[in-house]
Structure 1
């Protein structure tokens, strides 16, 4: 099976670990960082293939660190994934530098990690295994329980993190994805991505980007001061700040992704549509490397969350979605009277510019996915008050909205 044949989820669980054994995990994390750096030094500029990186770096990792065999292999594979991501970014003009592995993490798989019925997990270290208790919610409806109690979910590669002297296991799960159902009268949710509003749906749900932008601006000022200081202490603080920024961004993007998928479910949508991200930095006002990363990660989160709900994802051409009137179809640069406002020069329709674009994306997705070669046949896109079928017009809401 390919990766697309699976639905994947991550369940984050705090671990209760005896203090006497915490030092073993910290030592393993440090050796993991060392191993990843060794592998990156050897493979940088040469290959991004996991087997090749393992072949180039495995012996050095075993000789120069205290990691056991399986963790050594996992480290080389993690480096391959990182180098592949950097290569893809550089192909898009990012000029990303060689990676530095400084985060207190370490990967685990089925060979280096075992779960037990008493709610504990055994984790391999540089010495003996340690046994930790999963701090699962007392409530049986806690979201982690659905993965442990449903046999269709299989544990996959996971990652141990340390934050504020506490350990958290990000447990990976996967299950076979259900095949797409043929939808004769399916519905599309159009989604526009932007700066002020990080996401706006064709059903007029707005997800503000203010919080993310505020945190980024604050951290950017701190980063500038620390770079000017240039001391070793400032460098350590800088690394801490950058890790904090990534955590805040990921948390925000997860919340937005949950909101978009909930909106699709509420309006009984079968597909969520986005613009293709090609050249997003050039097309977006004030777009930069960070926003390119954020939009890509947001779509990634929405994709796996949506697939778990049986909702598909599609991408459409971004051409003229910001200049086209969703009411009459007139295209003109002057229609976009400002960053926030859309005013059609032909029919006079006025709307929030991002909302207008989301409706255009929804309509374009319907026209694209209606092609007879597609597995999913859709005929309309969702609005807050009803649906629109291209060439036929608006239909008021028929009670399909789930409150």
Structure 2
């Protein structure tokens, strides 16, 4: 059963031959067509995978270029989408018939084979292609944690295209009974102004460029508003749209980086700050920063879910003033925006990094009552973990 396994996803870019690019693109396009056709035939009443497969499989095969297994997977994906709409209706929420626009196609054991030489065989609308996995040059890449071991087995995966590049999200799983305590590792994430996000493993995502661009836009907006012409209004609308797209893309990249960090350190949970009351911890944050934090948390939740990683929220109170080493809380601990020095134990650190560890430790101290049942939680650090009682476990 699904809850008897721990799941992880290793994301890797593919090096695709020019002759195979169009085959993969066509496969993605045809899969979307197959999903939409199945939805059109089954919506809103058919939510069972086998029932929808029985009803539309032949039509999907005849109307698309999909091979048999991908036609089956398309009917199953459509049934899941219809069931999701029905669930939202049951909860009193609005939802319309699903539309399949995402450039993604799933792969299973029948349609994908991983080889020891670093290549992968993928079924397309015209036979198979065998692109190369673009893996990190050093052995520290988190993908090797799942590829170079018999403990993890390959399960459902997916291929997607982004900015002209193909990425394979390789799914892995292993039985929960094999899990050790470190599999309850928690990655803490602190939100900030100078650094939009910092992890408890000391990965920093700078916010300086975003803040600089925002200030430039504010000045340009004020100038255009003062001009007041129709042309200035159109220009302002265009600039606003471009700026928002840039910020959203940057937040997507940060969310991807945080999930990669969680995978790299084998974390089952990512702990972030609750946004209610965050102004007390970050009085210098503007409405733009609060918007960015909300968007980042939203992106992080669904990106982490794709890798079976839970995202939880903790109260941000005292995370910026408490010492992650001894726990002492004092206003004088944070000497400046970027520097933390504990007045009790003398521990010094980057203030945002210290806060990120505190965010993780807040969840660690809740105890091992996670829905995952993964044992004693530990705060993930750059080179190990720390337990609830302060014991350091080398990585």
Is the TM-score greater than 0.5? yes
Q: State the shift of 1:71 in Å.
A: 0.7
Q: Which runs of 5+ in 2 are unaligned?
A: 221-232, 281-288, 331-336, 341-348
Cα distance change, pair 92–29 in 1 and its aligned pair in 2 (3 A)? same
Aligned residues: CA RMSD = 6.3
CA contact (8 A) 1:324 1:360 kept: no
Instruction: Name the CA shift for 1:188/1:137 in 2 (closer, same or farther; >3 Å).
Output: closer
Aligned counterpart, 2:226: none
| Structure 1 residue 296: Cα displacement | 1.2
CA distance in 1, matches of 2:72, 2:85: 20
1:281–1:289 CA contact under 8 A, matched in 2 = no
CA contact (8 A) 1:58 1:73 kept: yes
Preserved contact between residue 195 and residue 287 of structure 1 (Cα < 8 Å) = no
Number of aligned residue pairs: give it. Answer: 356
Other structure's SS at 2:291 match: coil
Find the residue that maps to 1:102 and give its secondary structure: coil
Q: Is the 8 A contact 2:186 2:379 kept in 1?
A: no
C-alpha distance in 2, partners of 1:57/1:279? 47
Q: Given that residues 36 and 78 in structure 1 are in contact (C-alpha distance below 8 angstroms), is that contact kept between their aligned partners in structure 2?
A: yes
Counting only pairs closer than 5 Å after superposition, residues 1-400 of structure 1 correspond to structure 2 as 1-3=1-3, 5-17=5-17, 19=19, 22-42=21-41, 46=45, 50-51=49-50, 54=53, 57-81=56-80, 99-115=98-114, 121-126=120-125, 128-134=126-132, 141=139, 143=141, 147-162=146-161, 167-177=166-176, 179-181=178-180, 191-194=188-191, 196=193, 197-200=195-198, 207-209=205-207, 249-259=251-261, 274=271, 285-286=290-291, 290-297=295-302, 300=305, 304=309, 315=312, 318=315, 361=359, 364-369=362-367, 376-377=375-376
Q: Contact 2:46/2:52 (CA < 8 Å) preserved in 1?
A: yes
- In structure 1, runs of 5+ residues without a counterpart are 230-236, 305-312, 331-338, 343-350
CA 1:145/1:280 → structure 2, altered by over 3 Å: closer, same or farther? same
Alpha-carbon distance in 2 for matches of 1:352, 1:101: 44
Would the alpha carbon gap of residues 204 and 368 (structure 1) be closer, same or farther in structure 2, given more than 3 Å must change? same
Which shifted more, 271-280 or 141-150? 271-280
Instruction: Deviation per CA, 1:179-227: give whole Å up to 9, x if none.
Output: 45469xx998673553645444579875445567889999xx9xx989x
Alpha-carbon separation, structure 2, partners of 1:225 and 1:378 = 53
Aligned to 1:347: none
Deviation at 1:31, TM superposition (A): 1.4
Secondary structure of residue in 1 paired with 2:366: helix
Contact 2:201-2:380 within 8 A present in 1 as well: no
